[in-house]
A and B are shown apart, each in its own frame.
Chain A
Amino acid sequence: GAGVSQSPSNKVTEKGKDVELRCDPISGHTALYWYRQRLGQGLEFLIYFQGNSAPDKSGLPSDRFSAERTGESVSTLTIQRTQQEDSAVYLCASSPQEGYYEQYFGPGTRLTVT
């Protein structure tokens, strides 16, 4: 079946502009996660959604970052007033439920802020 998909694959934006990144999880997966990987650094958690529960936003680095999820499907990560330090690969993952389940990752969106 189809895996996790993300769009766009690459995004170049000017400092100060807003960007939206999209994630389509595997059908039927109730848990959805966002991570980012800055150049030369490890992956860091941003936010996760589980069904209709309130999302865990504890990894968002600033109030310029927000995310939404429509039911148990598409999620959008929005970064407002982008800064150069936001340049990174943004990865989305989904799993059948939270907790003990394997997470499956999408190919990522490479964001470059000039």
Chain B
Amino acid sequence: KQEVTQIPAALSVPEGENLVLNCSFTDSAIYNLQWFRQDPGKGLTSLLLIQSSQREQTSGRLNASLDKSSGRSTLYIAASQPGDSATYLCAVSGWASGSRLTFGEGTQLTVNP
């Protein structure tokens, strides 16, 4: 059974700092990995999708990497802003579980002005 873990559970940083969020998964036979953002009381916004054959994806100030063999992904946020404050979730789909996403518990990020 696929398990996804995110570290840290919570993170508070001053504005402008670069930061890294970590995600690990137990079964490396994945289709893809998605990073999402969730604002309080809202649904999920997809940030980045990395296919199993890819090593990284970039969108603006966000960069996500994937090391499938070690079961790890990182989300790098450059020059953080207060508007980046949210919960960040990573999720994987894979051969064992089909198309369904298995989610981590999330990292709650607070960027202080």
Which A residues have a C-beta under 8 Å from some C-beta of B? 31, 33, 35, 42-45, 48, 50, 56, 59, 91, 93, 95, 98-100, 102-108, 110
Contacts and interface: CB of A to CB of B under 8 A. Distances in A.
Contact of A105 (B46, B93, B97, B106): B46
Given A99-B31, A102-B34, A45 B44 contact: no
Interface residues of B, number: 26
Task: Tell me what chain B mostly uses at the interface: helix, strand, loop, or mixed.
Answer: strand
Interface of B: 31-32, 34, 36, 41-46, 49, 51-52, 89, 91, 93, 97-106
Contacts, number: 58
B103 A33 contact: no
Given A102-B34, A105-B46, A108-B43, A56 B98 contact: yes
Contacts of A91: 43-44
Contact of A31 (B46, B89, B99): B99
A42 B105 contact: yes
Contacts of A99: 31, 93, 99
Contact of A43 (B41, B49, B103): B103
A98 B95 CA distance: 12
B31 A35 contact: no
